[in-house]
C-alpha cells in the first residue's frame, strides 16, 4: 500500500495523477458540463488567435525555439510557474491535503525547494552558455556528434514518457470533467498541441502557458477566498474544525506513513529536485529571455507564484475537509463515509461548486483542461527541438542546414510527436501508466542532470566520460524503474519487485556521476586534452555571459 501511495503522490506532483488515481479510473463519465465547455471554447479561441499572431512572428530558428530571446523575466516566470502548476497539482494535491493533511504539505515543499538551488547554481550558467537546447551546453566543448546525440536521445525519452502520461491523464480528466469521450479528448489535445507548437513555436507556447498560469492563480485564489471566509480567515478556527471532523483527527496534521522510510524520502527529494533541473522543457525556458539578469528574475517570480499556489491548494484541501467532507450531496448515495462522487481527485471541483456554484465549477474545469494543453505544448516543443536542432541541424547536417530547413524539420517533428502522443495515448488508455512519470523524472535526474552540471562545473569532463555518464544514467534509471514494484509487479505481473524502492534517483544518480568521473579521468587521448583546455574559455563565458546570444526580438 505504501508503494502505491508513494508512487501516486509522485505522480500527483509531476503531472499524471489523473492517470494513476485508481479512484479516477473507476470513475464513470460525467454529465456534459456546459459552463465548462463554453469557457473552454473561449480559451481555445483566444489561444488560437494568439497562435495566428505568433505564427507571423515565427520565421527563424531563434523565433521558433526561444521566441527570439525576447520574453521578459516576469513573463517567463509566469510561464515556468505554469509548467509547474499542472491540473494534477490542483486536483491531486488538494485531494491529498483533504485526505492526508500534513503529508501533502511536505510533498509541496519537496517540489518547491529545487528552484532556489537551480537559481543559485544553474540559472545564469545555463543562460550564458546555451542557445536553444541544453545539449548546446553539454556539447559546448565536447564532441558535437556523439554528445549531442546522447543528450537528444535522453531528452526524447523524457519527453515521450512524460507526454504519454499527460495524454492518458488528460483523456481521463476530460472524460470526467466535461463528459467527453476519451478518444475525442485525446485527439482534441493532440491536435491543439500540434497547432500551437508547429505554427506559433515558442511565442505561442509561452503565451498559452502565461494565460493558463494567470487563470489558474485566479481560479485557485477565488475558491480559497470563498472557502476560507467560512472560517473567518482564521487558521486557528480552520485547524480546530478540521481536527474535529476528520477521521484522522489531530493526526491529520502530523507526518503520516508516506515518508516513514528515510531512503524513499531522500530519493524522492533528490529525484524531484534534480529531475526538475534536467527536464528539457524546463531548461529550454532559460533561453527565452535576453540575458542572465532576466533568467534570474524568471526564477524569482516563478518561485513566488509556485510557493503561493501550493499554500493556496493546501488551505483549499483543509477547507474541503469541512465544507465538502461533511456534505452528503458530494458523496455516492449521500453517505459521507463513502466514496466521493467522481473519485478522490474531485475534491477541488466539489469545493468550487459548493462555494461558487456551477459557474465557478465550470471555470475551474476549463482551467484544468487549459493547463493540460499548455503543458503538452511545452513538452512537444522541447521534443521537436531535440530532433530538429540537435539531431538534424547539428549532427546530420553538421551546422550546414539553412534556417528554413531547420524550422521545417521542427514542424514535421512536432506533427510526428503529436501523432505518437495520440496513438500511444489511446493504446495506453487502460494500462497502468503510473511508472511513466517516474521514469521521465528518473531519466532527467540521472542522465540529463549529471552530465549537464559536470559540463558546466568540472573541467575534467571529457566526451568519453559524458557518454558513459549519460547512457549509464538512462540505462540505470530505466532499469530501476522497470525492476521496481510499479512495473515489475503491477504491469508485468511478477510476484516480487527486484528493486525494493519506488524512487530511482538516489541509486541511479551516483552511477551516472561515477561513470562520468571514471571514464573522464582515465581518458588520456589528445581529444580529451583539448576538451579540458577548452574549459577555460567556456568558464569565462559561463561567468560573464560575454559572447552569449542576446535577444533578437521583443514581444
Residues at the contact surface with other proteins, assessed by CB under 8 A: 102, 105-106, 109-110, 112-113, 115-117, 119-121, 124, 235-236, 239-240, 243, 250-251, 253-255, 259-262, 265-266, 269, 292-293, 296-297, 299-300, 303-304, 307, 310-311, 536-537, 539-541, 543-547
Shortest reach from residue 293's CB to other proteins, in Å: 5
The cell for 271 is: 529525484
φ, ψ at 288 (rounded to 5°): -85, -5
What DSSP assignment string belongs to 349-377?
HHHHHHHHHHHHHHHHHHHHHHHHHHHHH
Angle at 120 between CA 119 and CA 125, to 5 degrees: 80
The cell for 430 is: 487502460
CA distance 269 to 107: 9
Buried b (16+ CB within 10 A) or exposed e, 421-448: bbebbbebbeebbbbbbbbbbbbbbbbb
Shortest reach from residue 531's CB to other proteins, in Å: 15
Shortest reach from residue 320's CB to other proteins, in Å: 17
Report the residue number, 161 or 301, with the smaller CB distance to other proteins.
301
Shortest reach from residue 241's CB to other proteins, in Å: 10
Report the residue number, 248 or 420, with the smaller CB distance to other proteins.
248
CA distance 422 to 374: 16
- The secondary element (H helix, E strand) that includes residue 266 is helix 262-276
Report the residue number, 315 or 367, with the smaller CB distance to other proteins.
315
- Which residues have C-beta within 8 Å of that of residue 335, sequence separation ≥ 6? 328
Report the residue number, 329 or 537, with the smaller CB distance to other proteins.
537
CA distance 82 to 78: 6
Shortest reach from residue 102's CB to other proteins, in Å: 6
Report the residue number, 522 or 544, with the smaller CB distance to other proteins.
544
Shortest reach from residue 141's CB to other proteins, in Å: 12
Shortest reach from residue 306's CB to other proteins, in Å: 9
Query: Is there a contact between 115 and 446 (Cβ–Cβ < 8 Å)?
Result: no
The cell for 494 is: 511478477
Q: What is the DSSP letter of 488?
A: I
Start-end of H helices in 386-484: 403-427, 435-443, 449-457, 463-483
The cell for 418 is: 503529436
Nearest to 119 by CA among 262, 287, 286: 286
Report the residue number, 253 or 518, with the smaller CB distance to other proteins.
253
Nearest to 442 by CA among 286, 276, 283, 284: 276
Report the residue number, 428 or 539, with the smaller CB distance to other proteins.
539
Shortest reach from residue 34's CB to other proteins, in Å: 38
CA distance 547 to 401: 22
Report the residue number, 80 or 372, with the smaller CB distance to other proteins.
80
Shortest reach from residue 177's CB to other proteins, in Å: 29
Report the residue number, 229 or 543, with the smaller CB distance to other proteins.
543
Query: Is there a contact between 351 and 260 (Cβ–Cβ < 8 Å)?
Result: no
Shortest reach from residue 87's CB to other proteins, in Å: 22
Report the residue number, 498 or 530, with the smaller CB distance to other proteins.
530
Amino acid at each position: 500500500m505504501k508503494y502505491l501511495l508513494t508512487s501516486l503522490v509522485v505522480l500527483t506532483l509531476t503531472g499524471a495523477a489523473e492517470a494513476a488515481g485508481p479512484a479516477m479510473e473507476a470513475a464513470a463519465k460525467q454529465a456534459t458540463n456546459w459552463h465548462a465547455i463554453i469557457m473552454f471554447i473561449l480559451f481555445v479561441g483566444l489561444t488560437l488567435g494568439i497562435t495566428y499572431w505568433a505564427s507571423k512572428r515565427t520565421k527563424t530558428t531563434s523565433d521558433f525555439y526561444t521566441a527570439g530571446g525576447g520574453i521578459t523575466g516576469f513573463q517567463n516566470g509566469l510561464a515556468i510557474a505554469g509548467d509547474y502548476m499542472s491540473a494534477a497539482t490542483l486536483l491531486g494535491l488538494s485531494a491529498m491535503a483533504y485526505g492526508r493533511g500534513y503529508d501533502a504539505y511536505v510533498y509541496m515543499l519537496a517540489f518547491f525547494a529545487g528552484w532556489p538551488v537551480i537559481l543559485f547554481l544553474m540559472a545564469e550558467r545555463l543562460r550564458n552558455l546555451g542557445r536553444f537546447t541544453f545539449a548546446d551546453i553539454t556539447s559546448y566543448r565536447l564532441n558535437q556528434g556523439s554528445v549531442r546525440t546522447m543528450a537528444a536521445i535522453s531528452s526524447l525519452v523524457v519527453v515521450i514518457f512524460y507526454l504519454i502520461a499527460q495524454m492518458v491523464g488528460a483523456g481521463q480528466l476530460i472524460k470526467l470533467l466535461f463528459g467527453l469521450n476519451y478518444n475525442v479528448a485525446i485527439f482534441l489535445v493532440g491536435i491543439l498541441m500540434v497547432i500551437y507548437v508547429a505554427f506559433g513555436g515558442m511565442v505561442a507556447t509561452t503565451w498559452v502557458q502565461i494565460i493558463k498560469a494567470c487563470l489558474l492563480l485566479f481560479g485557485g485564489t477565488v475558491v480559497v477566498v470563498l472557502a476560507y471566509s467560512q472560517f473567518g480567515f482564521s487558521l486557528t478556527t480552520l485547524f480546530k474544525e478540521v481536527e474535529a471532523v476528520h477521521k484522522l483527527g489531530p493526526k491529520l496534521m502530523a507526518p503520516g506513513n508516506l515518508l516513514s522510510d528515510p531512503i524513499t524520502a531522500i530519493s524522492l527529494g533528490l529525484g524531484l529536485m534534480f529531475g526538475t533541473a534536467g527536464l528539457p522543457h524546463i531548461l529550454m525556458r532559460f533561453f527565452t529571455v535576453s540575458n542572465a539578469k532576466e533568467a534570474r528574475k524568471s526564477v524569482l517570480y516563478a518561485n513566488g507564484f509556485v510557493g503561493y499556489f501550493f499554500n493556496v491548494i493546501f488551505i483549499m484541501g483543509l477547507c474541503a475537509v469541512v465544507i465538502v467532507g461533511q456534505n452528503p450531496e458530494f458523496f455516492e448515495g449521500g453517505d459521507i463515509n463513502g466514496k466521493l462522487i467522481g473519485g478522490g481527485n474531485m475534491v477541488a471541483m466539489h469545493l468550487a461548486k459548493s462555494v461558487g456554484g456551477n459557474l465557478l465549477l465550470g471555470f475551474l474545469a476549463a482551467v484544468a483542461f487549459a493547463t493540460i494543453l499548455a503543458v503538452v505544448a511545452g513538452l512537444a516543443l522541447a521534443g521537436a527541438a531535440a530532433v530538429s536542432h540537435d539531431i538534424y541541424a547539428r549532427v546530420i547536417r553538421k551546422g550546414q542546414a539553412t534556417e528554413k530547413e531547420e524550422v521545417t524539420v521542427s514542424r514535421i517533428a512536432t506533427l510526428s510527436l503529436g501523432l505518437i502522443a495520440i496513438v500511444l495515448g489511446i493504446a495506453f488508455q487502460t494500462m497502468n501508466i503510473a511508472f511513466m512519470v517516474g521514469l521521465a523524472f528518473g531519466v532527467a535526474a540521472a542522465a540529463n542532470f549529471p552530465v549537464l552540471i559536470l559540463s558546466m562545473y568540472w573541467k575534467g569532463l571529457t566526451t568519453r566520460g559524458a557518454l558513459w555518464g549519460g547512457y549509464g544514467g538512462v540505462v540505470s534509471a530505466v532499469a530501476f524503474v522497470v525492476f521496481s514494484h510499479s512495473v515489475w509487479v503491477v504491469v508485468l505481473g511478477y510476484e516480487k519487485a527486484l528493486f525494493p524502492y519506488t524512487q530511482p534517483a538516489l541509486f541511479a544518480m551516483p552511477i551516472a556521476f561515477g561513470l562520468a568521473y571514471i571514464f573522464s579521468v582515465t581518458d588520456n587521448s589528445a581529444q580529451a586534452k583539448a576538451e579540458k583546455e577548452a574549459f577555460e574559455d567556456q568558464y569565462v563565458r559561463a561567468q560573464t555571459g560575454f559572447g552569449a546570444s542576446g535577444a533578437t526580438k521583443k514581444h
